[in-house]
Amino acid sequence: MYHHSMKILTFILGSTVVLALLTGCTGSDPMDSAAPEPEPTAATGTPEPELPSWSIPVSCAVPSVIGVIESLGFPGVTDVTPPWTPAAGTDLAAALNGGGIACGYGIPDTDSGVTVYWVPDADAVFDATATVVWEVEGVNTVDLDLSRDEVTAYFQYVEMDSENIYPHWEVNVLFEGGLWLHVATSSWIEPNDGNSVIEAMLDIAQS
Q: What is the pLDDT of residue 118?
A: 98
For the 63-206 domain, the top CATH level (class) is: mainly beta
Q: Which residue has the higher pLDDT, 146 or 36?
A: 146
Residue 45 has a pLDDT of 60
Residue 5 has pLDDT above 90, yes or no: no
Using CA atoms, how far residue 207 sits from 45, 49, 60, 153, in Å, is: 31, 20, 15, 23
Spell out the domain ranges in the chain: 63-206
- Give the pLDDT score at 202: 97
Q: Tell me what pLDDT residue 117 has.
A: 98
More confident residue, 180 or 45: 180
pLDDT band, residue 34 (cuts 50/70/90): low
What's the pLDDT score for residue 66? 98
Span 76-90, average pLDDT? 96
49-64: average pLDDT: 90
Residues 202 and 196: their CA atoms lie apart, in Å, by: 10
Instruction: Pick the closest to residue 140 from 163, 113, 170, 166 (CA basis).
Output: 170
